Structure formats: C-alpha cells, structure tokens
C-alpha cells in the first residue's frame, strides 16, 4: 500500500514536471503595484501610497525586462487604475506565474515607525501588529459591491475573520520565506533601509495566489523621514534595484533546480511544509565581530548563509525552513564543518527560545 502511494506520488511529480518543462521556458513574474485609481492606499506627508507603489513596480519591471531574457514580466496594473485584490491574484494564477510580488507602502498611527518589511501569507491571524497592517491593506475590498461573496465571508473588521478561513497547507511557504529574506537583505544592504524583517500576515491578495508570493512594504508614508525618502525618484530606484537583485538570485536558483530536475515546491518525500506560524529554523554556524560577505571562505562553501546581530556580534546561520525537522536533517552535515553548530528559531525575524 505504501509503495503504491509512493509510485503515485512519483508519477504525479514526473507528470507535472514534464508538463511544466514543455509549456514553460521563461520564468514568469507578476508585479503587483498595490492600490490605484479610486483607492489611493495610505496618504500622509503629501504622499499617496498608490503612486509610490506604481513607480517602484514599473522600475522593477523595467530592470527585469532589460536584463533578464529568461524572464517574463506581467503587471497587474501599469497605470493609475483600480484593480480588485481577487483580480490581481487571478492574473498571476492564469499566467501560471513562478513568483508574485506585491508592492505596498506602510502607514502607522505611531509616526516614528519606519523601515521596510516583507510579508509572506499565513492563513491564521498572525501577530497583533502584523494583523493591523493586513486589516488596513485588505480593507480595500469594501470598494467592491460583492466583497462578502468574492472573499468567502472575509470581513477585515471582524476579529474572527482570520480564523474562519479554511486552513490550506501552503506548499509555497518555504520558497516565499526564502525570497522574502533575499528582498529584506537587499533593502538593508543595498538601499540601507531599516530592516523590520520578514513577517507573516493574512493578506487577501496573497491568499488567493497559488505560487511563491510576497508582499513588500517599502517604507512608512506616515514617518516624515521615510516619506521624504520615498518621494525621491532615486530612492524609488534603489528600492526597485533591491527587489531586482533578490529577484535575480531567486530566479536563477529556481531555473537551475528546474533544469536539474529538482523542485522545492514539494519535499521529495511528498509532504508539504508544515509551518508553525511565523517561525523559521536555521542552523547557527559561528559568531564574529566581523561582517562577512556571503562568499567568505569562513563559511566553508555553505550557502545560503545569513546573519543576525546580538551582543555586538554577527551571528551567522545556514539554511532556513519553517520545519525544524528539515534543519535537524541538515545538522550532521553542517556539524562536520562547524562542530558547535546548533539550531536556532526565529519568530517574525526575531530569535526565540
């Protein structure tokens, strides 16, 4: 019986892979500029969110079109028009996109809040702070007449809304978190933006899309310094360049894996990733006073390596998964290179016990 299931999985896997190989040669990315038309998004400091989002989205798309002949760019909007959240996800689903990038600008009652954050979807309600942001971004559905049927009863103002959504195992979680981390790294390193880390929240636009997908918040219009930064064309270009750099790494990795016949959407044993909300596991390798680059010999060839800062030290980690078992499986290999390596957990980008 077990063997039969195994064969079935292998067949399905082979089928879907060969189908993908035949119909797809280019990496398809859908770029979604949040809000538009009658929906301005957040407004503060003489800035409208919809304009910032569109400018960054178009710059990102242009960079990809100019430099990546192996990628195809689709915009959910390229002008100042209203598009429903559902339609945005539909565009990506119909195009069988490999990646969905939704670009937004943040707002908060606390005007000192600043910096960038990148979200992946979670079907549960998420952390209180993240929940507020998702609620604000989701509230656009009130502009649609039939929102309660379109979104299966989702009401952004109902406290229960997050949990009435059916729990669907999200097999794209790992890749989404991985891409989100690449984006946050570039925002920090290339654009020098304060890093508010990778987070999880219940964004409707992400919920309905069926591929690795993220939502970036490129800064806070409600913060005077962020608003002044976001108003500049050069800053918008830096933000687009950051997402572009992360995109190229992710695309190249994905295409390489596809060519070698591997896929990371579903683990080889046929299970899908089972994520505890907001928690990712990594293997800590070493700590150093020095800030090292990803290719540093100190990492002994391990990649991807990331770091976090603690007690004035850079602490370097390898790998990343929402499943602790994945990292446990990697640990013996890593321990051969770093004998003191151990697993660390992060919740919404913050180290936890």
Name the residues that contact Zn ion, by CB under 5 A: 34, 41, 104, 137
Smallest gap from Cβ 124 to Zn ion, in A, equals: 21
Smallest gap from Cβ 41 to Zn ion, in A, equals: 4
User: Which residue's CB comes closest to Zn ion?
Assistant: 104
- Which CB atom, from 104 or from 135, has the smaller least distance to Zn ion? 104
- Which CB atom, from 4 or from 46, has the smaller least distance to Zn ion? 46
Smallest gap from Cβ 49 to Zn ion, in A, equals: 5
Smallest gap from Cβ 133 to Zn ion, in A, equals: 9
- Which CB atom, from 51 or from 320, has the smaller least distance to Zn ion? 51
- Which CB atom, from 81 or from 168, has the smaller least distance to Zn ion? 81
Smallest gap from Cβ 71 to Zn ion, in A, equals: 25
Smallest gap from Cβ 6 to Zn ion, in A, equals: 44
Tokens of 274: 């089972």
- Burial (Cβ within 10 Å: 0-12, 13-18, ≥19) of residue 211: buried
- Which CB atom, from 9 or from 231, has the smaller least distance to Zn ion? 231
- Which CB atom, from 41 or from 61, has the smaller least distance to Zn ion? 41
Smallest gap from Cβ 244 to Zn ion, in A, equals: 20
- Which CB atom, from 34 or from 319, has the smaller least distance to Zn ion? 34
């Amino acid at each position: 019986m077990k063997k039969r299931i195994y064969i079935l999985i292998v067949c399905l896997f082979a089928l879907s892979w060969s189908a993908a190989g035949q119909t797809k040669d280019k990496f398809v990315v859908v770029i979604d500029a949040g809000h538009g038309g009658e929906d301005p998004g957040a407004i503060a400091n003489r800035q409208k969110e919809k304009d910032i989002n569109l400018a960054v989205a178009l710059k990102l798309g242009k960079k990809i079109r100019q430099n990546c002949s192996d990628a195809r760019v689709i915009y959910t909007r390229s002008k100042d028009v209203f598009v429903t959240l559902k339609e945005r996800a539909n565009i990506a689903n119909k195009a069988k996109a490999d990646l969905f990038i939704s670009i937004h600008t943040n707002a908060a009652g606390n005007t000192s809040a600043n910096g960038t954050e990148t979200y992946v979807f979670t079907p549960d309600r998420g952390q209180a702070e993240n929940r507020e942001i998702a609620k604000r971004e989701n509230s656009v559905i009130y502009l649609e007449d039939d929102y309660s049927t379109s979104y299966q009863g989702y009401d952004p103002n109902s406290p229960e809304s997050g949990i009435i959504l059916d729990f669907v195992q999200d097999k794209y979680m790992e890749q989404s978190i991985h891409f989100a981390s690449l984006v946050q790294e570039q925002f920090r390193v290339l654009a020098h933006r304060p890093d508010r880390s990778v987070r999880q929240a219940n964004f409707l636009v992400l919920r309905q899309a069926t591929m690795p997908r993220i939502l970036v918040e490129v800064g806070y219009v409600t913060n005077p310094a962020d608003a002044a930064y976001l108003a500049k064309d050069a800053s918008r270009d830096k933000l687009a360049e950051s997402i572009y750099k992360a995109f190229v790494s992710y695309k190249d990795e994905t295409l390489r894996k596809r060519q070698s016949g591997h896929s990371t959407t579903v683990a080889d044993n046929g299970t899908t990733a089972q994520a505890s909300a907001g928690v990712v596991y990594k293997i800590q390798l070493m700590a150093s006073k020095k800030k090292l680059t990803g290719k540093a010999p100190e990492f002994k060839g391990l990649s991807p390596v990331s770091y976090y800062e603690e007690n004035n030290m850079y602490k370097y980690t390898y790998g990343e998964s929402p499943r602790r078992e994945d990292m446990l499986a990697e640990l013996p290999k890593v321990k051969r290179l770093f004998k003191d390596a151990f697993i660390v957990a992060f919740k919404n980008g913050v180290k936890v016990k």
